[in-house]
Structure 1
Amino acid sequence: MTPAKEPLSPAYEFGPFHMALAEHRLYRQGEMVLLPPKEFELLLLLVQHAGQVMERDRLIKALWPNTIVEEANLNVHISALRKVLATNSGDNQYIETLPRLGYRFIAPVAAINPIENPTTTTSALPLLNREEPSFPVAETQETVSTVEPKAAWYSHLRLTAVTLPLWLLAVAVIGILAVLYFKPFQPTSRENAGDMAANVTPLTTYPGRESQPAFSADGNHLAFVWRGEKDDNADIYVRLVDGGNSVQVTNQTGDDVNPSWSPDGRTIAFYRSTNEGDGIYLVPALGGAERKLTDTWATRSGFGSHTWLHWSPQGNWIVVSDKPSAQEPFSLFLLAPDTGERKRLTTAPASVVGDCSPVFSPDGKQIAFVRLVSSVLGEIYLVAAEGSEPKRLTFSGEGISSLTWTPNGKEIVFSSRYGGKNRLLRVSVEGGTPQWVAASGNDAIYPAFSGPGNRLAWTRNTDNTDVFRLALKEDGDSNHQLTSIIASTASEISPRYSPDGRRIVFESNRSGTNEIWVCDKDGGNPVRITSFRGPLAGSPSWSPDGKQIVFDCRPDSNADIYVVSSEGGTPRRLTNDLAEDIVPSWSRDGRSIYFSSKRSGSLQIWKMDVNGTNAVQITKNGGFDPIESPDGQWLYFTQDRGSSQIWRMPVAGGEETPIFDFHQKNYSRMWLVVSDGIYFAVPASSTRTGIKFFDFATNSEKSLAEVDVTLRSSVSGLSLSPDGKWLIFPVTTQRGSDLMMIEDFR
């Protein structure tokens, strides 16, 4: 049995499977099987030692060198691997479990030599490990394989004048292929950027923010979202593509986003988000009476530039992203616009955030969507509109958000955070390396195609975020001094004062990618203390002694918890679970770290020792953004992303109780706990922010200040200096976006 495309690498075969080592791919009867890197490495370990007992400890040390990992992680990978290898009968004919010992690969294995007419033999190829960023890889112990040879290359090597050049050539080819495979995802640029750039024109240049363009089926009209000249409420507008005045289609309270046209051009479906609840609505294309189609799950804040619905070309279905309860991930559903009938299309794994940004193909037979493994990281999948197992299309390890199909249905154009900037890329629906849409430039999101004329529209953001410091009013002082202290042309978010108040840790993409930085309390002497150079690092939190910083990062397309010296150095990985582990914080005694994780199937608060061991689930009803009270007696948290209802429970364990809700989804992470209450931020107007305080003693809130700035939404960053005199937070200093278009996209 040989794959359709012969891999140029040493390989193993068992049953209908073919493992190509240098390609790091598994084939079943010539068809590539999607297998994550860890599962591939685990399978390779078992196959190389077929017939032998592989102890659990041995497997864990080989797969996660220099990392403390619970056995449950290995169990999850074994289970996933068995599902991939399962036959139609469901019998387990490959991996045997040996209770209290480990596992054994029990199927016959053949080793294949890539060299024609070999006259020499060698031992099995060593395991190709995918290194963890910023961590040394432990030396691999020499092992002896017991696999049966298909070509006699598995015994001791005897070099001759004839075989040596052949073997050296093979090693060189393997090395080149391995380097090409293991190098970071690097998109290419296919089109003539100069010619394409000449066809780029602005569609809108209104004051404030225009976003989410959507073409009518005939290509003549454009629906989009605009927050108006006051930059307050998001509404749906419609205009002719070739010019003319815009018509406001919606004008109700709440944010109306994600417009999608019916095929006949008469109706627009859109998503409405309010503090009271969210839903899918229909409205005539030029305005009129609205009709609510369905309620949807409300918590969608903090998920980046994603979309939640799209109308099919045939008009009979609207695909929506939704979830039945807080404990489930987002999945895709088909919704009939006439009757409201709902059919589930995908069931996202419990360990992920879920499926979003669905878009029908031009013929209506397929749906492309993004499966989010964390709040920012996701990959593109394809699923048949009639229902099927989703097929993964991209393997970028980056943040992918909104997407669209090319009019011929052969490619997907999508927005990715590769390199720290949102950019447009294109990829064939058959797979392959994504390519830059170079003419679209940086900060490009929400791509949309018009079939007639091959027009590509998108949103170009011009937002910028800096950290400001507010002087809290003392007795006799009537003014609140507001000062920018951390600023650049990039974004600075998630600031935190050190325990001694002398330094600030923050997250910034000023180096080109999101890293953790530390500066003096006045913003001086900024120093980058992480160098992941691509994977997004964020949510930093100081240890009580100020010597370490814990944060989350996503080097393997999955969020885990890391700790690094506050002076810089090599980060140490604390978690390595298949589920996302995010938003960590220290206990007040410095012995434990809290974090949010979906490892139990829903987003809950967990607690582990500072070395990453003994992780235990703390909450039962949902948990996000954990923080201990200054006296170490209470744990405060919200139940989910986008929720502003603050809960608490005793650190020693006990009932989870709601304390206070400030009803602000966009500012849901702008709060902090002190000994006598909670500071929080709310929008006072479209250009002003209110700083308030909830008093535990009186169970009431009071206003502290109003400032002439707007805070960055959906991120954390409210921090109080230890002396109580200063409050810092991320401020959007430049706020805007326009719609751009490429004519005759090729």
Structure 2
Amino acid sequence: EEKEPENADIYVKSVGSDKPLRLTFAPELDLQPSWAPDGSYIAFIRLKDDLCTIYTIPPLGGVERKVYETKRAWKSGLNGRLLACTPDSKAIVISESRSPEDPNSLFLFKLKTGEKVRLTSPPAGAIGDCDPVFSPDGRVLTFARVQAGRSVSDLYRIDLSSDLTPVAEPASLTDRMPVRLRDLVGHAWSAEGREIIVSSERGFHSWDFWRIPVNDPQRSTRLELAEERGVGPVISGPSRRMIYVKEQPGIANIWYLEDSGQSKKQAVPTRLFGSTQCEGLCQVSPDGAKVAFESVRTGFSEICVSNSDGSGFLRLTDYNGPRCEFPAWSPDSRWVAYDARPEGQSEIYVISPEGGQPRRITYDPGDDLGPTWSRDGRWIYFTSNRTGAWQVWKMSTGGGDPVQVTQEGGWFTRMSVDGRTLFLGKPPPEWGVYRMPVEGGAQELFLPDGLIDLFAPAAHGYYFWRMKGSGGSVFGYPDGSLVFLDSSTGARRVVTVTDQLPTSVSPFPDGKRIMFSQMGHPTADL
């Protein structure tokens, strides 16, 4: 009897049949199948670490054919397909970048000759172009251009000649849609070629299907189907049927525990809130009295606070659409910094935990993310791509121009308890926690199996959710173990183990209590 595969493989399934046919059996990850329009093959990506190899295989199984190889296809933040077959089945369109700092562009790769032609050139600072889809007549290619690090995107069209050469610059379609938040997760052309069905995020883990008239996007209308959970639409022209993925995301909640300090006695967490909505990215205030976190109780992502025992819930922000993330306390517990994107790009804001009007402190067309305060309260560190690459910057809380801190790449930060060391990560997909002096200097790898988002300095050491996989692996993930690293001895101790997906960790000032957020595993169906 055939064993259940332990990784992703390619399958085909006749509509109405009970059992799918498995096509690939490699130990690597096989992803993103794309049918050739003439039905002669299926193209797919085989992923091993950072190497993406494109193969073709007959639809009913057979010999695989290797056609293309690249290390620059997958990039964090890209939503949707990375490849598509051309209407004549003689070439593929691939999303790829020239270097980790460059945005992904779309290229046409001809299977017979190996010729490669650039189709798009996104601006510096963008994540890049992905999700290529051809119109039914093959004369228009639509694609998603991801503008920002947190997946803000628009749908573009590019007109093509009969030999698939671009005849004009790409033009945006969805910038004229009647919505504030545009985070696209798949699109498909209607059979007659006059409309496009697109999935767009409406709020945290909530998506809507929209019908976009190609020649008049302002007349776009929302489709009432899929119960706010539909992504990745594909339309079968002759049958006028649409297949899509219906996602059921895991619910994120905030928990706390008492760390006994004993290796043989693992702590049992207690849930802080009884909310049925997602709440996470929690941060305990330096005085231990309050906790700041992201919540979607109102239907949209907002920054909220409560007392550390869960009482006294208060919503601080009121954006009603654009996502707010990564709250960070000032050392005196009087202010909360966070990032939000009410104008499209992400900027850093500061607000009182008692409520009131937020104060914007960064102004740049690029994205500014993930604030962290210095221990003396004089600086706010943040991650920005304002130079075209992700680096760590800092800005005086008294005003002035931002100062670039890193030169070799940086992604989010944590400050040591004594305020002398800055911990940071590298831009995704690389992981590992690095450190450098706050005065500046060389970065060194501190924690190879950690992730800066899931790492926190504490009174006598460091707490982190342990990562599983090889360093730099695209698909590394937390193994469920919350580990304490003793700063004086270097010894490690597992504090607790979870079968859910951790999303943050924040110790109390006494170093004996810990607050963290975790999310249930998501599910999806066709």
Structure 1 length as normaliser, TM-score?
A: 0.63
Q: Which amino acid aligns with 1:704?
A: V
Name the Cα RMSD after superposition. 2.8
1:325 CA drift (Å):
1.1
Deviations 1:390-413 (A, max 9, x none): 101112442223222112221121
Partner-residue secondary structure (3-state), 1:259: strand
Deviations 1:364-417 (A, max 9, x none): 222211212212211111123422311011124422232221122211211111
Structure 1 match to 2:494: 704
Looking at structure 2, the residues matched to 608 and 429 of structure 1 have their Cα atoms a distance apart, in angstroms, of: 44
Residues 1:428 and 1:605: Cα distance change in structure 2 (over 3 Å): same
Structure 2 match to 1:452: 238
Residues 1:656 and 1:516: Cα distance change in structure 2 (over 3 Å): same
Retained in 2: the 8 A contact 1:299–1:640? no
Retained in 2: the 8 A contact 1:467–1:487? no
Looking at structure 2, the residues matched to 394 and 631 of structure 1 have their Cα atoms a distance apart, in angstroms, of: 48
Retained in 1: the 8 A contact 2:500–2:519? yes
Q: Which amino acid aligns with 1:540?
A: P
Residues 1:245 and 1:577: Cα distance change in structure 2 (over 3 Å): same
Structure 2 match to 1:679: 464
1:645 CA drift (Å):
2.5
Between 234-243 and 407-416, the greater mean CA deviation after superposition: 234-243
Partner-residue secondary structure (3-state), 2:504: coil
Out of 89, 97, 112, the residue aligned to residue 315 of structure 1 is 89
Higher helix share: 1
1:725 CA drift (Å):
2.5
Q: Does 1:294 align with 2:95?
A: no
Q: Which amino acid aligns with 1:429?
A: V
Identity value in percent: 34
Looking at structure 2, the residues matched to 272 and 468 of structure 1 have their Cα atoms a distance apart, in angstroms, of: 38
Q: Does 1:427 align with 2:212?
A: yes
Between 331-340 and 257-266, the greater mean CA deviation after superposition: 331-340
1:449 CA drift (Å):
0.9
Higher strand share: 2
Deviations 1:30-69 (A, max 9, x none): xxxxxxxxxxxxxxxxxxxxxxxxxxxxxxxxxxxxxxxx
Looking at structure 2, the residues matched to 263 and 686 of structure 1 have their Cα atoms a distance apart, in angstroms, of: 36
Structure 1 match to 2:33: 259
1:470 CA drift (Å):
4.1
Q: Which amino acid aligns with 1:392?
A: S
Structure 2 match to 1:482: 269
Structure 2 match to 1:689: 480
Q: Does 1:520 align with 2:520?
A: no
Structure 1 match to 2:429: 642
Structure 2 match to 1:570: 357
Looking at structure 2, the residues matched to 633 and 550 of structure 1 have their Cα atoms a distance apart, in angstroms, of: 21
Looking at structure 1, the residues matched to 408 and 218 of structure 2 have their Cα atoms a distance apart, in angstroms, of: 42
Looking at structure 2, the residues matched to 575 and 383 of structure 1 have their Cα atoms a distance apart, in angstroms, of: 34
Looking at structure 1, the residues matched to 84 and 263 of structure 2 have their Cα atoms a distance apart, in angstroms, of: 57
1:611 CA drift (Å):
4.6
1:290 CA drift (Å):
4.0
Residues 1:435 and 1:355: Cα distance change in structure 2 (over 3 Å): same
Partner-residue secondary structure (3-state), 2:142: strand
Deviations 1:111-165 (A, max 9, x none): xxxxxxxxxxxxxxxxxxxxxxxxxxxxxxxxxxxxxxxxxxxxxxxxxxxxxxx
1:672 CA drift (Å):
2.7
Structure 1 match to 2:173: 393
Q: Does 1:437 align with 2:219?
A: no
Partner-residue secondary structure (3-state), 1:669: helix
Retained in 2: the 8 A contact 1:643–1:668? no
Q: Does 1:594 align with 2:381?
A: yes
Alignment of 1:237-386 (within 5 A): 237-275=11-49, 277-292=51-66, 293-297=68-72, 300-301=75-76, 303=77, 305-374=79-148, 375-385=150-160, 386=165
Residues 1:695 and 1:283: Cα distance change in structure 2 (over 3 Å): farther
Between 654-663 and 360-369, the greater mean CA deviation after superposition: 654-663
Structure 2 match to 1:660: 447
> Structure 2: any 5+ residue segments left out of the alignment?
470-475
Residues 1:414 and 1:726: Cα distance change in structure 2 (over 3 Å): farther
Q: Which amino acid aligns with 1:689?
A: G
1:428 CA drift (Å):
1.3
1:229 CA drift (Å):
8.0
Structure 1 match to 2:473: none
Looking at structure 2, the residues matched to 402 and 262 of structure 1 have their Cα atoms a distance apart, in angstroms, of: 18
Looking at structure 1, the residues matched to 508 and 333 of structure 2 have their Cα atoms a distance apart, in angstroms, of: 14
Alignment of 1:132-147 (within 5 A): none
1:681 CA drift (Å):
2.9
Between 577-586 and 606-615, the greater mean CA deviation after superposition: 606-615
Looking at structure 2, the residues matched to 371 and 317 of structure 1 have their Cα atoms a distance apart, in angstroms, of: 22
Looking at structure 2, the residues matched to 552 and 316 of structure 1 have their Cα atoms a distance apart, in angstroms, of: 45
Partner-residue secondary structure (3-state), 2:419: coil
Looking at structure 1, the residues matched to 189 and 196 of structure 2 have their Cα atoms a distance apart, in angstroms, of: 5
Q: Which amino acid aligns with 2:213?
A: S
Retained in 2: the 8 A contact 1:304–1:401? no
Return the structure number with greater relative CO, CA threshold 8 A, min gap 6: 1
Residues 1:728 and 1:272: Cα distance change in structure 2 (over 3 Å): farther
State how many pairs are aligned. Answer: 503
1:450 CA drift (Å):
1.0
Residues 1:411 and 1:498: Cα distance change in structure 2 (over 3 Å): same
Partner-residue secondary structure (3-state), 1:486: coil
Retained in 2: the 8 A contact 1:378–1:397? no
Residues 1:340 and 1:511: Cα distance change in structure 2 (over 3 Å): farther
Residues 1:340 and 1:594: Cα distance change in structure 2 (over 3 Å): farther
Looking at structure 2, the residues matched to 726 and 427 of structure 1 have their Cα atoms a distance apart, in angstroms, of: 51
Looking at structure 1, the residues matched to 89 and 327 of structure 2 have their Cα atoms a distance apart, in angstroms, of: 46
Deviations 1:581-600 (A, max 9, x none): 11111111111111111111
Looking at structure 2, the residues matched to 724 and 274 of structure 1 have their Cα atoms a distance apart, in angstroms, of: 39
Structure 2 match to 1:408: 192
Out of 234, 250, 259, the residue aligned to residue 8 of structure 2 is 234
Residues 1:418 and 1:730: Cα distance change in structure 2 (over 3 Å): same
1:436 CA drift (Å):
0.8
Retained in 2: the 8 A contact 1:378–1:557? no
Partner-residue secondary structure (3-state), 1:731: strand
Larger-Rg structure: 1
Structure 2 length as normaliser, TM-score?
A: 0.87
Looking at structure 2, the residues matched to 493 and 267 of structure 1 have their Cα atoms a distance apart, in angstroms, of: 44
Retained in 1: the 8 A contact 2:35–2:43? yes
Looking at structure 1, the residues matched to 303 and 174 of structure 2 have their Cα atoms a distance apart, in angstroms, of: 27
Partner-residue secondary structure (3-state), 1:441: helix
Partner-residue secondary structure (3-state), 1:418: strand
Residues 1:687 and 1:323: Cα distance change in structure 2 (over 3 Å): closer
Q: Which amino acid aligns with 1:462?
A: Q
Q: Which amino acid aligns with 1:691?
A: L
Between 627-636 and 232-241, the greater mean CA deviation after superposition: 232-241
Partner-residue secondary structure (3-state), 1:578: coil
Residues 1:493 and 1:603: Cα distance change in structure 2 (over 3 Å): same
Partner-residue secondary structure (3-state), 2:225: helix
Deviations 1:155-185 (A, max 9, x none): xxxxxxxxxxxxxxxxxxxxxxxxxxxxxxx
1:735 CA drift (Å):
2.7
Retained in 2: the 8 A contact 1:377–1:397? no
1:661 CA drift (Å):
2.4
